[in-house]
Chains A and B, each alone.
Chain A
Amino acid sequence: MAREESQIKFNRRKFLAGVAIAGAAGAAAPPAARAATTALTPGTTPRPSALRPSAAVAANETATPPAMAKSEGVPASDFMVDVIKSLDIKYMPCNPADSFRGLHESLINYGGNKSPEFLTCTHEEAAVAMAHGYFKIAGKPLMVCVHGTVGLQHAAMAIYNAWCDRVPVIVVGGNDLDASKRAPGVPTFHSAQDISSLVRDFTKWDDQPVSLPHFAQSFVRAYKLAMTPPHEPVMIALDAALQESTTLDRAKLTIPRYVPTSPPQGDGNAVREAARLLANAERPVIVVDKCARTENGVKLLVELAEALQAPVIDQKGRMNFPNTHYLSQNARGRALLGQADVILGLELSDYWGTVNGWIDNGDDDGSGLQESHVKPNAKLISISSILLNTKANYQDFQRFQVVDVEMAADAEATLPALIEAVKQALPANQRAAVEARGGGLKKAWSETRDRTRQAASYAWDASPISTARMAMEVYAQIKDLDWSSVGGDRQFSAWPTRLWPMDKHYHHIGGPGGYGVGYGLPAAVGAALANRDAGRFSVSFQPDGDLMYSPGALWTAARHKIPLLTVMHNNRGYHQETMHVQRMSNRRNRVAYLGKDLGPLGTRIENPDIDYAKLASALGVYSAGPITEPNELAPALKKAVQAVKAGEPALVDVVTQPR
């Protein structure tokens, strides 16, 4: 929308009032009114279709009230702030940009920098990842403003991660639409016809409001859609001219009330059929990925698993199931799936990959070996909301898997009905068998635990430090606190989720979703922000490669006093790629070229080594390291924990084994 046109549009009431008053006073009409009059056929007297109101009535109805006589209207973006505040969005991680300067100014000066509070970020990717991490602890979305072009380009990868991870983020992109009015040069480089097209493939919905009522509806709708499972990011393209316009209509503008949409529940017949299969199964297995959205989700899953005495294989996209429970059987997943007669998959990102194996060994003309992991007659059940929101281009929907009973529904919302149906469907003569199943699983659980402890003891005293040692040294320092692990652990043999007792819904937050690198640090900072408000201690293991995408998030944590213990899993490389290039070299019978590095050229972050402790302290963060000797860990961690308890971020650089 053109800057001036919008001005005219939003001043229309004032203009009309002006006509009435001016007419009543017999003064000259403004030029636009004159033009309208002269457009009538010359010589004819216009005949009103109704009696004109008296001057007094007209003035009462349309003129500016005396109290507002001197007001020049309200900045349109103040109203936008009112809309945003109606949704109680607590923070706005953000890198400033002029295409949303109108809204920025309103947020801090009119909105008092509260709900949302502006959190200065050094990169848009970090801002979106912070919102991503925040949601996974707080269960509430944040908004992020970005430059609609260059800022959105920076943000895009993080939006994709949120999309794959089913996390709502409200992205607002500033843009100046009127090509004839916007400033030439840089602001025009930073404008586009349709900024949202860049992320339309991986946002649930987007809009480009052209008026303030439209903005109010769009923003509330965006929030509502983002928060309806499957949760996803949404995008609002916000015209700079609209933000910077003035409205005299504030009193008449309304904000639609936000009413949460109830999550989709599985169809009754399908739920009963699933329950019948599960209740009559000899070896049912439950596999979960992004199942528990809330604390209650964890409880419900425990209830279902106990009713069936079925092992649970947790793919850990969320904190779904307590690893302290004997039905938690991740380590035996492959064997259990191989024996299963009924498999229930709850919000799996990749059902095919759950029941099939793929081995990267170059078989089948290089595409790898594929094999089924389950019995051919095993019955597969799926409850997943993602079926309700699939797009075509990006392949996050994964390979196609035939499933016997498939519900396009939110698993957590369907669990109460499923539990009830399972309890009813369990045949009386099956109860003893069900109990016996549980007995076997208790034994297997404690054997697995012993094996895991044993596995952790290998290379216990090694330098570079073993990842198991690192994980357990950290645990020793935080175990008496109300802790929350806000980073992933797949990259270092998943020691925390295997060895730390996790039974609270905030004990871990799952992974990045799309595995786009650069998520780890800012998502941890976002999750730590939510934990700060809940009075919890946050800890994250931070891969070195990931840190270097947006190390500036450390500064954001220092600037906004977000307490977070960052422990570097510093293997000095993009280690996944190190292994990939090794694999390709072997396949082609060539010795991998290392140059002066320890791994195939191009995959290592060494020569020179990066000093992460110095980097952190340069960004205002308490730091220690690099630590290469395991017995130096405890004292360094102890001090860092003190710093975090005092309310600051801290970083300990640990030089580690690769995985």
Chain B
Amino acid sequence: MRLFHACAIALTVLAPGAALAASAEHGKAMFILHGCWQCHGTQGQGSIATSGGKRLAPNPLPWEAFSGFVRSTNRAMPPYSEKILSDGDLADIYAYLQSIPKPPDVNGITLLK
């Protein structure tokens, strides 16, 4: 959690929307600030709160589908308008999600056998 506090503090330095083109680090801070982590988990792994565990990472949806969804979804996820989440910040969130590595192979995890 300390890590995420550090990100939250960084927000006070980086004004939301400050165009740091496709910065995964800033994207992570925005992912926290805008509450994506609340339902999707800090690594976009999904949860009971994302309709059957929909995942954002690794391999997020193509950008158009991704951004289109965030802006205009009208179902279980509350949409984010540009008024509260700028295109730049959303692009950074996308970069953060792209930077998340694949999980270990499930067949190699003893506890999941």
Residue B4 is within 8 A (CB to CB) of chain A in the complex:
yes
**Range class of the A interface residue count:** 35 or more
Q: Which residues of chain B have C-beta atoms less than 8 A from A592's C-beta?
A: 35
User: B33 touches which one: A334, A594, A628 (CB < 8 A)?
Assistant: A594
A361-B74, A589-B84 as given contacts; A659 in contact with B43, CB under 8 Å: no
Residue B13 is within 8 A (CB to CB) of chain A in the complex:
no
Interface centre among A459, A461, A492 (most CB of B within 10 A): A459
B47 touches A658 (CB 8 A): yes
Closest CB-CB distance, A336 to chain B, in whole Å?
13
B103 touches A598 (CB 8 A): no
Residues in B67-113 with C-beta less than 8 Å from chain A: 74-76, 78-81, 83-84, 103-106, 109-112
A461-B104, A463-B3, A655-B1 as given contacts; A475 in contact with B76, CB under 8 Å: no
A581 to B109, CA, bound (A): 37
Interface centre among B53, B79, B84 (most CB of A within 10 A): B53
Residues in A273-287 with C-beta less than 8 Å from chain B: none
User: A456 touches which one: B2, B34, B84, B112 (CB < 8 A)?
Assistant: B112
Q: Which residues of chain B have C-beta atoms less than 8 A from A657's C-beta?
A: 41-42, 45, 47
A494 touches B42 (CB 8 A): no
Q: Which residues of chain A have C-beta atoms less than 8 A from B16's C-beta?
A: 591
Q: Which residues of chain A have C-beta atoms less than 8 A from B78's C-beta?
A: 361, 582-583, 586-587
Q: Which residues of chain A have C-beta atoms less than 8 A from B74's C-beta?
A: 361, 363
Residue A472 is within 8 A (CB to CB) of chain B in the complex:
yes
A659 touches B111 (CB 8 A): no
Residues in A218-253 with C-beta less than 8 Å from chain B: none
Q: Which residues of chain A have C-beta atoms less than 8 A from B46's C-beta?
A: 455, 458
Q: Which residues of chain B have C-beta atoms less than 8 A from A628's C-beta?
A: 1-2
Nearest chain-A residue to B58 (Cβ)? A458
Residue A460 is within 8 A (CB to CB) of chain B in the complex:
yes
Residue A16 is within 8 A (CB to CB) of chain B in the complex:
no
A462 to B41, CA, bound (A): 10
A575 touches B38 (CB 8 A): yes
A658 touches B79 (CB 8 A): no
Nearest chain-B residue to A331 (Cβ)? B52
User: A459 touches which one: B1, B3, B42, B84 (CB < 8 A)?
Assistant: B42
Known: A579-B38, A591-B33. 13 other contacts (CB 8 A): A359-B75, A363-B74, A456-B112, A457-B109, A473-B111, A493-B48, A579-B35, A582-B35, A582-B38, A589-B83, A596-B8, A598-B32, A657-B47
